[in-house]
């Protein structure tokens, strides 16, 4: 609001080139941080062409990605740290999740059997189904894994949440 | 997440009204609450009221799957009532709308 001292977030996002990282977070292996990340994603939506179902898709994908890091790579160790960065423009919403997991092989992630449902194994399936682009890249010498997820906001935003 | 438990002794029916987000952190709270009831009761119908759950992820889904299997093992019944659109979307994506009894 003019004169209120609030930054004009909409203007900042509109002016940012597509690859600009607007938010860079360092998170711990404590799952309590996940709700905080969702509040941040909700706040970012106020200035974007992001309806509720699309925002919910992004919230689920980011939470699934962070949960996998905390649960499988870190085994709930609160002393370990990983990064989440948001690159937001009016046309695309990109989230990168960066962490260390020397033994990780994205090709080894099994597909869930939806006709014989089990308690686990749905996270990556959900991410791949709700985001427009999902790429895992690994750097074997350092053991760094980068999960890059993109949701296109235009012109495909009308299909968000249609499952 | 808040969990309110309503007991109907006459019809052997226990309703857990959830309020909040069902993620990996909160799924453990739900498990502890339902499992405690399951250990005390004989054959009951358990209802999970999700009208005030605006968010669920795979950990929450996994916990609901686990609870349904445990309740069935005890010859009980699990109903998921009033799921919001956000929750229904994830159920449909994972075909869990066919696995759960929805009301």
Q: What are the pLDDT digits (tens) for A11-26?
A: 777 777 766 778 899 9
The per-residue pLDDT for A157 is 43
Whether B51 contacts chain A with CB within 8 A? no
How far, in Å, CA of A43 to CA of A32, rounded? 18
Closest-CA distance, B85 to chain A, in angstroms, reads: 9
Whether A159 contacts chain B with CB within 8 A? no
* Neighboring chain B residues of A76 at a CB cutoff of 8 Å: none
> Is the pLDDT reported for residue A2 higher than 50?
no
Q: What backbone torsions phi and psi does residue A143 show, to the nearest 5 degrees?
A: 75, 15
Whether A155 contacts chain B with CB within 8 A? no
How far, in Å, CA of A113 to CA of A127, rounded? 16
The per-residue DSSP string of A39-105 comes to HHHHHHHTTSS--HHHHHHHHHHHHHHHHHIIIIISTT-TT-EEEEEEEE-SSEEEEEEEEE-TT--
Mean pLDDT of A133-153: 94
* Neighboring chain A residues of B67 at a CB cutoff of 8 Å: none
The per-residue pLDDT for A1 is 46
> Is the pLDDT reported for residue A153 higher than 50?
yes
Closest-CA distance, A76 to chain B, in angstroms, reads: 11
Among A67-81, A105-119, A130-144, the least confident range: A105-119
Tokens 């999960």: give the residue.
A147
**What are the residues facing A96 on neighbouring strands?**
A85, A148
Whether B43 contacts chain A with CB within 8 A? no
Global pTM reads 0.81
Mean pLDDT of A135-144: 93
Q: What percent of chain B has pLDDT over 90?
A: 83
> Is the pLDDT reported for residue B32 higher than 90?
yes
Mean pLDDT of chain B: 93
Whether B90 contacts chain A with CB within 8 A? yes
Whether A146 contacts chain B with CB within 8 A? no
The per-residue pLDDT for A155 is 54
The per-residue pLDDT for B76 is 93
Is the model more confident about A162 or about B4?
A: B4
Which band of pLDDT confidence, cut at 50, 70 and 90, is reported for residue A75? very high
Closest-CA distance, B16 to chain A, in angstroms, reads: 20
User: Which of A64, A83, A37 has the alpha carbon at shortest distance from A131?
Assistant: A64
* Neighboring chain B residues of A59 at a CB cutoff of 8 Å: 55
Tokens 């003019």: give the residue.
A2
Residue of A nearest to B20 (CA): A35
Which band of pLDDT confidence, cut at 50, 70 and 90, is reported for residue B17? very high
Q: Could you say which of B58, B65, B85 has the minimum Cβ distance to residue A64?
A: B58
Whether A129 contacts chain B with CB within 8 A? yes
The per-residue pLDDT for A7 is 57
Residue of A nearest to B25 (CA): A31
């Amino acid at each position: 609001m003019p004169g209120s001292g609030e930054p004009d977030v909409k203007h900042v996002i509109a002016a940012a080139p597509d690859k600009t990282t607007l938010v860079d977070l360092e998170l711990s292996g404590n799952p309590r941080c996940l709700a905080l990340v969702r509040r941040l994603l909700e706040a970012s939506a106020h200035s974007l062409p992001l309806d509720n179902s699309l925002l919910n898709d992004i919230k689920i994908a980011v939470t699934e990605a962070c949960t996998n890091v905390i649960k499988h790579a870190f085994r709930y160790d609160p002393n370990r740290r990983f990064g989440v960065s948001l690159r937001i423009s009016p046309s695309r919403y990109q989230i990168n999740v960066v962490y260390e997991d020397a033994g990780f092989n994205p090709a080894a992630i099994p597909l869930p059997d939806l006709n014989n449902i089990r308690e686990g194994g749905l996270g990556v399936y959900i991410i791949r189904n709700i985001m427009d682009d999902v790429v895992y890249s690994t750097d074997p010498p350092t053991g760094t894994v980068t999960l890059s997820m993109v949701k296109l906001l235009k012109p495909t935003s009308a299909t968000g949440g249609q499952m | 997440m808040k969990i309110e438990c309503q007991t109907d002794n006459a019809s052997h029916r226990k309703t857990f009204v959830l309020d909040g987000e069902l993620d990996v952190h909160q799924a453990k709270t739900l498990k502890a609450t339902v499992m405690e009831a399951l250990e005390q009761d004989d054959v009951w119908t358990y209802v999970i009221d999700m009208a005030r759950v605006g968010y669920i992820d795979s950990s929450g889904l996994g916990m609901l799957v686990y609870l349904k299997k445990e309740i069935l093992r005890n010859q009980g019944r699990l109903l998921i009532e009033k799921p919001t659109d956000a929750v229904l979307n994830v159920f449909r994506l994972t075909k869990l709308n066919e696995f759960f009894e929805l009301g």
